[in-house]
Amino acid sequence: MNILILGDLLGRTGREAAIAAIPELRRMLRLDVLVVNAENASHGFGLAPDMAQALFAAGADVITLGNHAWDRREIIPYIAQEKRVIRPMNFPPGTPGAGFVTLALPGGLKILVAQVMGRLFMDPLDCPFQAMESLLARHRLGPNGVDAIIVDFHGEATSEKMAFAHAFDGAVSAVLGTHTHCPTADHQILPGGTAYMSDVGMCGDYDSVIGMGKAPAIARFTRKMPGERLHPADGEATICGAVIDTGPDGRAQSIEPLRLGGRLSPQIPSA
C-alpha cells in the first residue's frame, strides 16, 4: 500500500499549492491513500469546512488537525459529521470529533489513520501512549485486523515522538511527526517494521519563520510589546511530506521524504 502524508498546510499559499499538486501526486506516486495535516490551513490558524471540502475534492482521503483544531469554530459541527477529519485522540473525553478513522479501500483492504498530540511543551492532555494502547486493543495490525495503521504525532519534542515510535514499533505501520514545520532527515524503518520521521515538514513558504511573515515573528523575540499579528508568508510554497510503502503484513517496506517546489532542495520519491 502506498501512502502519502503531507505536513501542515500553512495559509492560502500552502493550501492552494497542495490542492493543485494532489491530483498529480496521486497519479505519479500511484497512491492508495493520501493524508493531509491542515490545522494551519486558514490564515495559519485552524481549518474551515470549505477548505476541508476543497482538499477532499482534490483527492485527500483523511485530514488531521492538532493544537489549532478549534481556532475556526465552524469546524466543530463539521467534524461531528465528517469522519474523515480527525483531531488528536488524546483530547479529553467528550471533545467533538474522533481521533482516528478507518477507511475501506478497493480490493478489500482497510487502513486506520490516527492522530495523537504530544505533551512536552504542548497543552496538558491525556497520555498519548495510553490512548494508543487503548486503540490497538480494539484495532490490530495484520491478519484479522487492518492492513495499515498510520499515526500522525503532532508535537514539539523529537524525544517524545521517538519514544512513541519505539513503544509501538511493529504494532503500527508508521509514526510521522507534524507541528514543527521543519522536515527532518531521520526517516527510517525501525527494527520492528514501523516507518518513522520526526517531522514531515510543512506545505508553505519557507522564506519565513515556520511559515509566518518574518518581521512580526522577529519582533516577538526582540521586543516585549504588542505588535503586528502573525500572518502567513505568501511566497511560493514547498510541498513537504513522506511516502510510505507497506507490505502484506502491514509493516513498512520503505519511507521516502517528499519536497516539491519553493526554496528547499527537491526530493521526489520513486513510484
In this predicted model, what pLDDT tens digit does every residue of 224-260 receive, in sequence order? 777 778 999 999 999 999 999 999 999 999 999 999 9
Query: Is there a domain that residue 134 lies in?
Result: yes
Residue pair 119/92 in contact (Cβ under 8 Å)? The answer is: no
The number of distinct structural domains making up the chain is 1
Which residue segment(s) compose the domain that 210 sits in? 2-260
246 assigned to some structural domain: yes
Question: Where do runs of H (alpha helix) occur along 42-185?
Answer: 49-58, 75-81, 128-138, 158-167
Reported as a single tens digit per residue, the pLDDT across 202-231 is 999 999 999 999 999 999 899 877 777 899
Q: What pLDDT digit, counting tens, does each position of 177-197 carry?
A: 999 999 999 999 999 999 999
270 within a domain of the structure (yes/no) = no
Q: Assign residue 23 a region: left if phi > 0, alpha if psi is -120 to 50, beta otherwise?
A: alpha
* Residue 146, domain member (yes or no): yes
Mind listing the pLDDT tens digit for each residue in 81-129? Answer: 999 999 999 999 999 999 999 999 998 999 999 999 999 999 999 999 9
Could you tell me if residue 103 is inside a domain? yes
Annotated catalytic residue, options 68, 179, 181, 187: 68
Asked whether residue 266 is assigned to any structural domain, the reply reads no
**pLDDT exceeding 70 applies to what percent of the chain?**
100
Q: What is the CATH number of the domain that holds 193?
A: 3.60.21.10
* 125 lies in some domain: yes
Provide the whole-model pTM: 0.95
The per-residue pLDDT for 30 is: 96
In the predicted structure, residue 45 carries a pLDDT above the cut 90: yes
Active site residue 154: no
d(C-alpha 194, C-alpha 119), whole Å: 22
268 located within any domain: no
